[in-house]
Amino acid sequence: MNKRSIMLAITLAALTSAAHAQTPKQHYNAETKRIATRYAEDKKLCAEETESSARMQCLRDAKSEFNKSNTQAKADFKSAGTAKPAANCVDCGRVTSVVLGEKKGEGGAVGLIAGGVAGALLGNQVGSGGGRKLATVAGAAGGAYAGKKVEEHARSSKQWTVNVEYEDGKHDSYVFEEDPGMMKGDQVKRSNGTIVRR
């Protein structure tokens, strides 16, 4: 481990221990800072989109999530004075990591057929006689495969895997099709087969 890694580990440990002793106001300030950081990261991800329409939609989604998270943080802060701490909460835990991945899309009949037809048409323009038939069949097969792969890529989507460690030491993972807005260290609670912030 180099000096930078050691300093980072010490800082993280200090922040974690400080998070347990935060007042509601300190928690609110830390949460709004975390939300702003997340929004900045989301905007960077949006900038990587190649099409402008996808980039604009990504930015709108990021802004909507930012506003929703800020509203939730304010509501949590207001209710902090009336909330009572849970004792021995078996459904309570802490996020240990959030992994962003890509869910592979499924190719269907549309891509298969469209690719096969396009490949057959191109193959039919090559050669003559028996060679043309062979090129047509080969073009249809290659086109069908390519069409299937194009459709799989077009239907791929992002997915977020949130790993949680519960207070009793057990671990679990939850997969979300949309950004759950959670980060490492967030306190969560199991509810109806999924997790929510607490």
Task: Bin 127: left if φ > 0, else alpha if -120 < ψ < 50, else beta.
Answer: left
The reported pLDDT for the residue numbered 97 is 93
**DSSP annotation string for 85-141:** PPSS-TTEEEEEEEEEEEEPP---HHHHHHHHHHHHHHHHTSSSTHHHHHHHHHHHH
What is the fold, at CATH topology level, of the domain defined by 87-104+157-198? Answer: OB fold (Dihydrolipoamide Acetyltransferase, E2P) (2.40.50)
In this predicted structure, the answer to whether residue 94 has a pLDDT above a threshold of 90 is yes
Report d(CA 26, CA 32) in Å as an integer.
10
Domain extents in the chain: 1-83, 87-104+157-198, 109-154
- Ranking 8-22, 65-79, 169-183 by mean pLDDT, the lowest is 8-22
Tokens 């900045």, residue located = 40
Bridge-based pairing state of the strands 187-191 and 194-197: antiparallel
pLDDT in tens, 116-148: 555 556 555 665 666 656 655 665 566 556 555
Percent of the chain with pLDDT over 70: 58
- Nearest Cα to Cα of residue 179 among 156, 155, 161, 198: 161
User: Do residues 92 and 198 lie in contact, with contact meaning Cβ atoms separated by under 8 Å?
Assistant: yes
pLDDT in tens, 141-188: 665 565 555 555 555 688 889 999 998 888 999 999 888 889 899 999
Bridge-based pairing state of the strands 157-166 and 92-103: antiparallel
Tokens 């992002």, residue located = 158
- Ranking 8-12, 43-47, 101-105, 110-114 by mean pLDDT, the lowest is 8-12
